[in-house]
């Protein structure tokens, strides 16, 4: 990463009269538009984006749209930057501060928030911050108050922008409760699958196995945390997975493909008495057929974590600040904002795991 990409501005940054922001007009069609950054209102921050990251959700949205986002819409939601201006009442941040934040925050008052399920709060998705592929981004007051943090000086902006995806992983692990002496199978060798592997190994899990397709991705998985990789395209893949854990199969299977076939595979591979985490969201209208006899008599636990809670964001922030994961290795490509279409072309052909978009 270039020194310029991690430069911290100590003085206030005045917003440019005109700035750029990527709009997703329809699946497969992006446009970089000029806009005038809004002055922050009470409780808000205007960030000068230092880095935005590509993610699997962005790729799926670019391919087919998203059921929760109406197009055309500003695009991108993983970011870190420097405060250009602070609205009235903001006391914890000032112009020049380096900031990392999640793009959502719950209301704190609804039915779900009262039950500790803030990830299901309607506000979290209805008021999600979009538009990180830009020069500037307005951070609303509810996010500033609950899910924004000072970036540690020793943490690069690129790695700080991983706060949102790592928060999703932390939430999934909080539900699945992986144990140190377990064998965990991750189905899918993309960025999220590898981030799961990194977090599991940092937590001391004994054996983490990634099953996926593509020699390049499996190579990355082996380099970045997996104890073993299995090529799912090989004829002996099923036997190799069944032979894990002394022939019992994995204790925990985490699906990270976002495909129904991946969900079915994770369900099929876990051992008797095991847990399955359906992590990747599938296309609208798809269904999962479950063998009810296996579900019941094999005493399986099926989990489907969605999004994250403020406690997950705080834990993810602490993990990134401690630099225990080596998560920055996931970012293996860099492009300028005006090269955004090239970013998605790279992701389509699996030429990168995550790309840093640096305005």
Tens-of-pLDDT digits for all 359 residues of the chain? 433 344 333 334 454 557 999 999 999 899 999 999 999 999 999 999 999 999 988 888 888 787 777 889 999 999 999 999 999 999 999 999 999 999 999 999 999 999 999 999 999 999 999 999 999 999 999 999 999 999 999 999 999 999 999 999 999 999 999 999 999 999 999 999 999 999 999 999 999 999 999 999 999 999 998 999 999 999 999 999 999 999 999 999 999 999 999 999 999 999 999 999 999 999 889 999 999 999 999 999 999 999 999 999 999 999 999 998 999 999 999 999 999 999 999 999 989 999 999 99
Write out the residue limits of the CATH 3.90.180.10 domain(s) in the chain: 3-161+326-358
pTM exceeds 0.85 for this model: yes
CA Rg, the chain, in Å? 20
| Residue 16: CB atoms within 10 Å | 14
CATH topology of domain 3-161+326-358: Quinone Oxidoreductase; Chain A, domain 1 (3.90.180)
65 in helix, strand or coil?
A: coil
For 219-256, give one letter per residue: b (16+ CB within 10 A) or e.
Answer: ebbbebbbbebbbbeeeebeeebeebbeeebbbbbbbb
For domain 168-303, give the CATH superfamily: NAD(P)-binding Rossmann-like Domain (3.40.50.720)
Write out the residue limits of the CATH 3.40.50.720 domain(s) in the chain: 168-303
| Residue 135: CB atoms within 10 Å | 20
Compute φ and ψ for 30, nearest 5 degrees. -110, 150
What the block records as the tokens of 36 is 């005038």
Could you identify the residue written with the tokens 């860099």? 334
């Amino acid at each position: 990463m270039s020194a310029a990409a991690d430069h911290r501005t100590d003085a206030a940054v005045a917003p440019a009269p005109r700035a750029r922001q990527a709009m997703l007009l329809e699946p497969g069609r992006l446009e970089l538009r000029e806009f005038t950054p809004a002055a922050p209102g009470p409780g808000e921050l205007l960030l000068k984006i230092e880095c935005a990251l590509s993610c699997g959700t962005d790729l799926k949205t670019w391919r087919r749209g998203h059921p929760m986002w109406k197009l055309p819409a500003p695009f991108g939601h993983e970011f870190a930057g420097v405060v250009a201006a602070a609205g009235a009442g903001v006391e914890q941040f000032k112009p020049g501060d380096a900031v990392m934040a999640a793009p959502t925050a719950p209301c704190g008052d609804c039915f779900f928030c009262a039950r500790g399920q803030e990830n299901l709060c309607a506000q979290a998705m209805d008021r999600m911050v979009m538009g990180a592929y830009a020069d500037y981004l307005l951070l609303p007051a509810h996010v500033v108050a609950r899910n924004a943090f000072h970036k540690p000086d020793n943490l690069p902006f690129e790695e700080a922008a991983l706060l949102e995806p790592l928060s999703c992983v932390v939430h999934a692990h909080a539900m699945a409760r992986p144990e140190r002496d377990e064998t965990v199978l991750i189905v899918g060798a993309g960025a999220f699958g590898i981030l799961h592997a990194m977090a599991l190994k940092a937590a001391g899990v004994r054996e983490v196995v990634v099953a996926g397709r593509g020699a390049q991705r499996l190579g990355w998985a082996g380099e970045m945390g997996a104890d073993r990789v299995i090529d799912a395209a090989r004829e002996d893949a099923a036997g190799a997975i069944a032979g894990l854990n002394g022939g019992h199969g994995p204790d925990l299977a985490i699906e990270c493909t976002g495909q129904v076939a991946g969900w079915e595979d994770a369900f099929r591979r876990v051992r008797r008495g095991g847990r399955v985490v359906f992590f990747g969201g599938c296309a609208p209208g798809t269904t999962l057929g479950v063998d009810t006899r296996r579900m019941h008599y094999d005493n399986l636990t099926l989990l489907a974590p969605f999004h994250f809670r403020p406690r997950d964001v705080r834990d993810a922030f602490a993990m990134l600040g401690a630099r225990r994961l080596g998560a920055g290795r996931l970012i293996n490509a860099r492009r300028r904002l005006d090269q955004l279409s090239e970013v998605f072309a790279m992701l389509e052909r699996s030429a990168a795991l995550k790309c840093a978009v640096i305005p």
